[in-house]
Structure 1
Amino acid sequence: MSFLFSPPAGDPAAHRPALRFGDRALTYAQLAAAAGALVPRIGGAGRVAVWATPSLETAVGVVAALLAGLPAVPLNPKSGAGELGHILADSAPSLVLAAPGDVLPAAVRELERVDVLTDATGGAAPAPGSAAGTGTPSAAGPDADPDPSAPALVVYTSGTTGPPKGAVVPRRAVAATLDALADAWQWTGDDVLVHGLPLFHVHGLVLGVLGPLRRGGSVRHLGRFTVEGVARELNDGATMLFGVPTMYHRIAEALPGDPELAKALGRARLLVSGSAALPVHDHERITEATGRRVLERYGMTETLMNTAMRVDGPSRAGTVGVPLPGVGLRLVEEDGTVIGGYDAAGAPTGTCDGETVAEIQVHGPNLFTEYLNRPDATAAAFTADGWFRTGDMAVRDADGAVRIVGRRATDLIKSGGFKIGAGEIENALLEHPAVREAAVTGEPDPDLGERIVAWVVTDAEGDFALGVELAEHVARRLAPHKRPRDVRFRPSLPRNDMGKLMKRALKDG
């Protein structure tokens, strides 16, 4: 299959729906015409910035850049001036693609602007397998094979430990991830995906837009996530839902009073959550109400997707499945000892006890090439034998599933001689009926080294007695040494656009 699914004009599939955002839609033929007409306007431009609003124009702009063989740099419209300035200076795009009505901030207005016209005619994307259909620059010749190592995207990380870094994502990584997910999820051209994720990140853009196009299916973007929108689209023939835990939490909260929502979700072939761990309590509530399990997958900007629950295999709430085809994964302790994992063929290696917390390292065709202009950061991110250090801490359970317990920088707590993952304590807290949201951090302690601190949002008024009850709940559910020593009640927890907890902001606040 070609890098992008673009049926030629005479193919009946050309008139199938490809993209729908709200009440605006494009068939494959219309997408081919709009993107094809844009290619000569941006050819030879180098890197291309895309003002990544949740719109048809963003999708068409990214497709056109890929057809032209140019790396696209998605820009978050909510980024502040400082962050935008850094990204533009670092990536040095030649121009910016935007919808005609978009008002761009000053930093972006300095670039040459090319408006994306979704009703363009006369452009024609090539038939599958041709050079432009795979994104190979036209200079390579019409019959040239694509260069799988050529950059497809430059996606900037969240910048939690400094200025955002531009991860250069090659074409092979996009293709490998999407094809591996097609295998794991039995994803075909008959699937209709609904999501409301932002398009400046790999979850919403690569999985949510390029994924359906590669399969020859279609995507319906809600523009803005609502429970009502999800129900409407699933009732109208959509087969798949991609979301983040915040979205599924809202769905779980709405289900008891909305039997029609439960029926709509029950019609879905596939429910997928990612970008952060979905609490076990929300898994259970959704499955109980709908009869459907939510599959989790694990990935990041630098690696795209590493693991996933398979649609045809066992799944267990709180785990992220097994590595995708072609992805090697190993768990490595702080002293460099490899305690186990999987080889690229999916065979288990070493032994894992389901308790030892170690860092996930991965290797495979899904990896990024480099951090743009940061050879120091690139070198530090890889081991001497070429494995990427994810910074995520996990255990491998007895049934082989990978269970992530948090980030090394923020979620690994060393208390009383134990290595403790914040994620399992958060899940335990969320199983208490009074808890709506929970975050766990470690703070310096003269006796324990670090003490466990729980930050909790509750339905009831938080007080000392409830704090004691929650600490004892965790001790009974997990182990006494994992109980929070300090429980702090908050009206809400800080989260980014993908629904991930911003723990540094929580501590600073």
Structure 2
Amino acid sequence: MTAPLLSSLAAPGGDRPDALTVGGRALSREDLLGAAGAVAARVAGAPVVAVRATATAETVTAVVGALLAGVPVVPVPPDSGPAERDHILRDSAATLLLTGDTGVEAPIETVPVDLTERAAWTKPEPDPESTALILYTSGTTGAPKGALISRRAVAADLDGLAEAWAWTPDDTLVHGLPLFHVHGLVLGVLGALRTGSRLVHTGKPTPAAYAAAGGSLYFGVPTVWNRVVQDPESARALSAARLLVSGSAPLPAPVFRDLEQLTGQRPVERYGMTESLITISTRAGGERRPGSVGTPITGVRTRIVAEEGAEIGELQLTGPTLFDGYLGRSEATAGSYTEDGWFRTGDIAAVDPDGFHRIVGRASTDMIKSGGYRIGAGEVENALLDHPAVHEAAVVGAPHDDLGQQIVAYVVADGVGEQDLIDFVATQLSVHKRPRKVRFLDALPRNAMGKPQKKLLPPA
């Protein structure tokens, strides 16, 4: 049976003055509980509250306080423009915006978070089935949708990851990820609070900040890890860590290998999305392969639905970490499930004979059908990234009169020509997987988590 979400907040070591350090501000767990209790007293009874999710101790306090009070939390990216912010506030029906900053203008009442305030909160934990978080998707297919995440789902996910990563109160978790996503907020804050581990949020995830933090467990996205390996001195400082975890986008194989060479250990990769939280991961004590995200965590089952004869297909899953639907969008919720109740991730994957999962990409942009072949864009991207002159790569399928789709590669590279890269891929993969066109860019368009935004690429 899963323990209540906040059951470990007062874990042993709670009086340690630096149990949590966020943006340079250190708090003990006792400090956090006291300040969060004051927030809980102020927001209790509200239907929904929003939190301006800066990388600060005030954000952590606001989220914990609302969760103590049983009020659903809507994290709002601090860099969101007025249109995006107002859509999130209006769509979620939030009545209060909690913030640690002064002078924030918003269309709803703002509530300042003061870390010096204290109040005891003694009410029991809310129903595990109640909503903990309303997390807004990236909006790549329209206006962002609010995914309803229950307290039960968060607790089950964090327990599954603690088991997979041997995550204990003895760990010090270090990361510098945004606090409005699953990775930075759910795993990177609530995970530390639930397991009882110490947390150091570095503010910005720079190699130097990671090296100086002295952690045993590190979280990063591929962009972070790529910057780390570009700073060998900082990378070598992480050799004392127990686990380096990468997620939110596929980790390029060259970065995987460089991390191993510089730190002495292979990174752990995992897979998840807003609607499902983190469902698949390699294990702390198991094999770690480049390009693989491992096997499902406890309680999660997966299946691949592929066309006859195809090795890759849509990844579908079921388990206790799934969301409860999109807020106010019953049609979109229904469309995200199969008739027999499995969640459709929209991601294309393959499963090796030993059960290890490989994510090829999104069905909408990364499944390329060319000349009768089904090709995963991710495989071609990794092949390109193996070329020493290529720094970034994104592959798409573009309409073609004869092939149906032709493979087009967008790369950031130095001193290499189009035909050189086409020929290189043809020597690494099957010839039919080579790009037909290569376009050179100064940089790939990316979102806040470092994921390439293929819909923003220039026309092929």
Bucket of the pairwise TM-score, normalised by the shorter protein: over 0.9
Structure 1 residue 424, shift from structure 2 partner: 0.6
Paired residue for 2:223? 246
Output the amino acid matched with 2:433.
K
Q: Is the 8 A contact 1:265 1:292 kept in 2?
A: no
Distance 2:267 2:339 in 1: 37
**Cα gap change, 1:103 to 1:222, in 2 (>3 Å):** farther
1:82-97 equivalent positions in 2, closer than 5 A: 82-97=83-98
Q: Is the 8 A contact 1:326 1:364 kept in 2?
A: yes
Distance 1:459 1:241 in 2: 31
Structure 2 unaligned spans of 5+:
none
1:3 correspondence with 2:20: no
Q: Is the 8 A contact 1:19 1:220 kept in 2?
A: yes
Structure 1 residue 156, shift from structure 2 partner: 0.3
Output the amino acid matched with 1:484.
P
Structure 1 residue 254, shift from structure 2 partner: 1.7
1:223 aligned residue (172, 184, 203): 203
1:443 correspondence with 2:398: yes
Q: Is the 8 A contact 2:51 2:75 kept in 1?
A: yes
1:71-220 equivalent positions in 2, closer than 5 A: 71-99=72-100, 101-105=101-105, 109-121=106-118, 123-126=119-122, 131=124, 134=125, 136=126, 147-220=127-200
Residue-by-residue CA offset, 1:59-85 (whole Å, 9 max, x unaligned): 100001110001000001111222112
1:100-499 equivalent positions in 2, closer than 5 A: 101-105=101-105, 109-121=106-118, 123-126=119-122, 131=124, 134=125, 136=126, 147-234=127-214, 238-255=215-232, 258=233, 261-334=234-307, 356-460=311-415, 462=416, 466-499=417-450
Q: Is the 8 A contact 1:18 1:213 kept in 2?
A: no
Residue-by-residue CA offset, 1:236-283 (whole Å, 9 max, x unaligned): xx111100000001111222xx2xx24311011110000000001100
**Cα gap change, 1:224 to 1:508, in 2 (>3 Å):** farther
Q: When the two structures are aligned, how many residues end up with a matched partner?
A: 457
- Larger deviation: 61-70 or 111-120? 111-120
Structure 1 unaligned spans of 5+:
137-146, 340-354
Q: Is the 8 A contact 2:86 2:107 kept in 1?
A: no
The Cα RMSD (Å) is 1.6
Q: Is the 8 A contact 2:245 2:269 kept in 1?
A: yes
Distance 1:508 1:55 in 2: 40
Distance 1:56 1:20 in 2: 7
Q: How high is the TM-score relative to the length of structure 2? A: 0.96
Residue-by-residue CA offset, 1:347-388 (whole Å, 9 max, x unaligned): xxxxxxxx7010000101000001001001000001111111
Paired residue for 1:144? none
Q: Is the 8 A contact 1:18 1:31 kept in 2?
A: no
Classify the secondary structure of the residue corresponding to 1:371.
coil
Distance 1:492 1:407 in 2: 21
Q: How high is the TM-score relative to the length of structure 1? A: 0.87
Q: Is the 8 A contact 2:5 2:128 kept in 1?
A: no
Output the amino acid matched with 1:113.
T
Percent identical residues: 51
Classify the secondary structure of the residue corresponding to 2:26.
strand
Classify the secondary structure of the residue corresponding to 1:395.
strand
Classify the secondary structure of the residue corresponding to 2:59.
helix
Output the amino acid matched with 2:49.
V
Distance 1:359 1:507 in 2: 27
**Cα gap change, 1:29 to 1:175, in 2 (>3 Å):** same
